[in-house]
Amino acid sequence: MLVIGLTGNLGTGKTEVAQILAELGAVVINADELGHELLQLSTRAYTEIVAAFGKSILKHNGEIDRKKLGQLVFDDPAALNKLNRIMHPRIYEIVRQKIEEYRQSGAGVVVLEAALLIEAGWKPLLDQVWVTTAPEATILERLKKARGLSQEQILARLKAQMPQKEKMKQADLVINTDCPIDELRARITELWNKLQV
């Protein structure tokens, strides 16, 4: 079984690449989705996060308001580190278990999609690291359209991530997503067909 770590900064097209790989037959583990599950009421992570950041991050129904939490941590590197220290070890363990389950069930290719894959130290779980990239202007345009974020919010989030150049240095493969979707699909299909599984 081949385990590919798919990473890249916000707005660089990770999700599109992951979707194409899923269509081609890969099993995709989305670290963000696992993180959202960990934020559910009554989990240990929920309790620790509320203790660390206070009740102002909660919605009226007691759930964590991810938007409020996001604004809080993206404006403050120390707060982001605190959140990552709570979340990353838990997500790592869930991912490790899932990879093992897929290995047992005979999966051919597992893709771990995670924005902070390198920063979180998850490379030991992987056989290859694929990094998506795009020019800053393209990223800004995509995120304004897709998430309705202001340029200021986008730049704050990008600044909180490892620079693209640094991620590219740790990549086995770099995928520039600044192209039409058909072209990207053709490129990913070509890479898929070359995989030795």
- pLDDT tens-digit series, residues 19-73: 999 999 999 999 999 999 999 988 999 999 999 999 999 999 999 999 899 888 8
- Rounded to two decimals, the pTM is 0.91
Tell me the CATH class for 2-192: alpha beta
Overall average pLDDT of the 15-20 stretch? 97
* Pairwise CA distance, residues 128 & 194, whole Å: 13
Q: Which pLDDT value is given to residue 44?
A: 93
Take residue 75 and report the two structure tokens written for it.
């404006």
Overall average pLDDT of the 148-152 stretch? 81
Per-residue pLDDT tens for 163-188?
Answer: 999 999 999 999 999 999 999 999 99
* Pairwise CA distance, residues 157 & 115, whole Å: 12
| pLDDT at 3 > cutoff 90 | yes
Helix (H) or strand (E) holding 30: strand 27-30
* Pairwise CA distance, residues 141 & 143, whole Å: 6
